[in-house]
Amino acid sequence: MFTPKSIALASFSAAALLCGCRSNVESFKTDVQPILEHNCAVCHSPGGIGYEMSGFSVQSYATLLKGSKFGPLVIPGSSKQSNLIWLLKHGAHPSMNMPKICEHLAAQDGKCAIASQYARRLPERQVKIISRWIDQGARDN
Ligand code: HEC
C-alpha cells in the first residue's frame, strides 16, 4: 500500500540515486588535510617559519585544533567564529592573511626561509571545504 510516507521515502531515494552525488560531509583526512598539507605545511610544521613565529602547526588533527600560541583558530561548529577562515578569506590586515608567499624555497632545501608580506588566496572552493568541515563539528573523520 502507498502511504504518503512510503511515497516520500521512494522519491527521496530516487532523488539520491539520480543525483549520484557524493555526500556533503567533509572528511578531515581526505578533504581538509591535503589542502593544509599542500599550502601550509612548508611553513607551519616544526622548522618552518610560520610554526616558529606563531606555534601553529598543521601536522595533525591535534595540532590544528590546538591552534597557535595565541589560542585556538578553529571553533568546532562555527566557521564564522574561526580565525582560520577569517585569515583564509583575507579578512584580516594584509600582513596577517594566509597563505603567505614563500620566497627562497629552493635555496633552503624546501624549507621556507623568508615569508613575504604578501599572501595569495586559496581557491574559494577549498575555503568552502574547510568552512563546511568546521561547521559540521571539525571532527577527526
Ligand atoms: C610562506 C610561509 C607561510 C605559509 C605558506 C603559510 N603561513 Fe601562516 N604564517 C606564516 C608566518 C611567518 C606567520 C607568523 C607571522 C604572522 O602572523 O604574520 C603565520 C601565521 C599564521 C597564523 C596566525 C596564528 C596566530 O594565531 O597568530 C595562522 C592561523 C596561519 N598562519 C595559517 C596558515 C594557513 C592555514 C596556511 C595555509 C593555507 C598558511 N598559514 C600558510 C607563514 C606562512
Task: Tell me the backbone φ, ψ of residue 83, rounded to 5 degrees.
Answer: -60, -30
Of the listed ranges 18-27, 59-68, 126-135, the least confidently predicted one is 18-27
Q: List the residue whose alpha carbon is closest to atom 29 of ligand 1.
A: 84
One-letter amino acid of 80: K
Is the distance from the beta carbon of residue 127 to the nearest atom of ligand 1 less than 6 Å? no
What the block records as the C-alpha cell of 121 is 588566496
Question: Count of CB atoms within 10 A of residue 31's CB?
Answer: 16
Tens of pLDDT, residues 93-140: 888 899 998 887 777 777 787 777 789 999 999 999 999 999 999 999
Best of 38, 53, 98, 103 for a ligand 1 pocket test (most atoms within 8 Å of beta carbon): 98
Is the distance from the beta carbon of residue 26 to the nearest atom of ligand 1 less than 6 Å? no
